[in-house]
Amino acid sequence: MTSSGSSNISTGLDGSGSDRSSPDVMWLGTTFGSGLSPHGFRLRQSFFDILGLPPALPTPEAVNHVDPRLRTNGTPENHGIGERSPSPAREVNISPRAQREIERQEEYNRTRKSREALRRIIKTVQDKRREEFRVLRQALYQIYHYDGPFLKKPGEKAAAGRLIRTGGLASEFVNVFDDQAKWEYLQMRVDAI
């Protein structure tokens, strides 16, 4: 590739007409359809760069100008002479639907923490119930599959199961009692019925 001095335009082998060796050049890929352009990459240049002119700067009137159609909620006190006008986005009337959506979002954010606390409470209660049912199933399994010296008579295992269910003894039966002592205790309770 050959460079033409201070100009960023040259005749390159890739057909792009630009100098890829210059460090101050920004490259933008061009595409059409589904593949890359056969011309490769093109140099990003503004109209002023092509003509060699300095870039145009906005005038102070253009910087401080706000379209009068956007000033729907403004008052003359808000737009004093020499003051910078507020952002047009804050002055635009929003539709009732958008206003309702904003209010709904604010209400949702206000009540989010209380809903999350309620969900945690519900989950704690559900986990406790699940644990109680798990322990009850385990206690009933132990009773109905027991082959020791206790609960030998017909109907004693069913009575022990009813006692465990209604008395809330499942967790103590599974977790607390020693193996021999829990069967003696259960036999005494069944005999007392």
- Write down the pLDDT at residue 67: 60
**Dmax over Cα atoms in the chain, in whole Å?**
111
The sign of the CA dihedral 58, 63, 65, 69 is positive
**43 with 24: CB under 8 angstroms?**
no
**Number of CB atoms found within 10 A of residue 185's CB:** 16
Same domain, 82 and 100: no
Same domain, 147 and 177: yes
How confident is the model over 109-125, as pLDDT tens digits? 889 989 999 999 999 99
Same domain, 104 and 127: yes
Length reported for the chain: 193
Same domain, 88 and 157: no
What is the C-alpha radius of gyration for the chain, rounded to an integer number of angstroms? 41
Strands (E), 12-82: 27-32, 35-43
**184 with 150: CB under 8 angstroms?**
yes
Same domain, 145 and 102: yes
Q: What is the domain range of residue 73? A: 62-93
In three-state secondary structure terms, 40 is strand
Q: Which of 20, 22, 27, 31 is nearest to 43 (CA)?
A: 27
Same domain, 78 and 52: no
- pLDDT > 90? residue 129: yes
How confident is the model over 94-103, as pLDDT tens digits? 888 999 999 9
